Amino acid sequence: MTSDSLLQFLPVILETKPELFSTDDLQDLLETLAPLESNPPDDADEILRDWCKARRPIRDALRNFSSDRAEVKKVKPSQANQNQRTSNFFQELSQQVKEKLANVNQNQGSK
């Protein structure tokens, strides 16, 4: 899991507000996530944060969602498990983006 509380909501925003993500956004996000999946660098959260900041509707949705969920209890992960959790987060998010892109492509092909 990522240690950034805003980024933790990105999969939820992707699922609940897919209209905020254009096909180009999804493809760019997938490209951004690719190098982070297997061996995320120390600045992986920052890379993903920068990606979100560059897309105002997504950034605003994350902030709004986060403030709506402010009561969610934050549990600090142990350092020993931090790398595995971060890696899993990026892998899971990447898989979710791939599925959304496949759905978008399928819907465009059936029109």
Listed by start position, the domains of the chain span 7-109
A 10 A CB-CB count for 62 gives 25
pLDDT at 65: 85
- Mean pLDDT, range 67-82, rounded to an integer: 52
Query: What's the predicted TM-score (pTM) here?
Result: 0.77
pLDDT at 38: 83
Confidence of residue 106 (pLDDT cuts 50, 70, 90): confident
pLDDT at 70: 56
Confidence of residue 79 (pLDDT cuts 50, 70, 90): very low
